[in-house]
Amino acid sequence: MNHANPEGALRIAAQGEAPPGFWDRLPELVRPPAPPLSDRPPSAFLLALRQRIAHRRAPETLTLFRTIARLAGERVEDTCATCFDGLFRADERGAIVQGLFADLFDGGLATFAGVDGADLLGFVTLRADRAVLHASVSRWAIFEVRSAHRARYRDLLSDDEVDEIGADVLSELLSRSLARFEGGNDRQLYVYVRTTAHRAVSRAARRKVLDRESVARLREEAPPDLPPLVGRPAPAPRVRLRPRDPLPISADDEAYLRELLEAGGKLASVAASRGVSRGSVTKMVQRILGRLDALSVDERERVGEWAEATLGELRPPG
């Protein structure tokens, strides 16, 4: 084999034994790449390859790059068709290939430390398989995080929080969690990603509820400087409401609180009038309480005065 011709050596390697299958090499795909052995002198093949890379505009280098690009693209198409059939459209597969090209030709090839054409072929197919894995996991993780949010926590988590959860889930899967995956097909991988995503959304929702101590507040255990949103309050002191000052809350929050006060603090009544579940009403009240927490003491006092005045208007005379 002519080690001075990396392109020819790569072609010969591609005609030989097929590279490992995608699922067989999955542990290698999720494992961080091992650092090159610095005490081993570079082979003649590696020296010739580095010479090609250093002269990017040379005809021999362009020929080598075209061969690498063809092999990488074929591997992406083959992996998508055999392991993730129907998951990606043609334009999405093209985007994966373009991202892979950028990875290889903008510094990726410079990290290669193999000794011959077979090692280079394995390096290229490994990068291709990893690109497909990342694309599929990204697609499923983001979809499932948003799905869990829409199904159970629409009134509790904001869109920005959901995007942040999705990024955290993806980072966790690609950096650590997938190393524990022991399945061998796309369906098992999807279930694993879905479970991880739904657990992350549930944990974020529970943390938000607990941080607010909303359960204590809904049971009339809130500190006295918070407005009495649930139940009948004690006889109100003299109202100091400044009617010309706008309330420091949104019109939607004001309307929701007024409806809650009109129902006597009964969440079930509000749920029935709005045609939603009691859990949805509870989540909405928790969100409003969180926004009230962010107000200053004076602003909370104004909301409390407004609530007292509203309750006074609703009480029957006598």
Segment 140-156, tens digit of pLDDT? 999 999 999 988 888 88
223-243 tens-digit pLDDT: 455 454 444 444 444 444 445
CATH number for the domain formed by residue range(s) 229-314: 1.10.10
Contact present, 10 and 117 (Cβ < 8 Å): yes
Q: Are 26 and 181 in contact (CB under 8 A)?
A: yes
Tokens matching residue 123:
């390096």
Greater pLDDT, 184 or 293:
184
Least confident of 75-89, 114-128, 221-235, 261-275: 221-235
178 and 30 Cβ atoms separated by less than 8 Å: yes
Q: Looking only at Cα atoms, what is the longest distance across the chain?
A: 105
Task: Please report the DSSP string for 57-94 in residue order.
Answer: TSHHHHHHHHHHHHHHHHHHHHHHHHHSTTTS-HHHHH
Q: Domain extents for the chain?
A: 6-134, 138-212, 229-314
pTM above 0.85, yes or no: no
Question: Which range is most confident: 17-26, 98-107, 172-181, 307-316?
Answer: 98-107
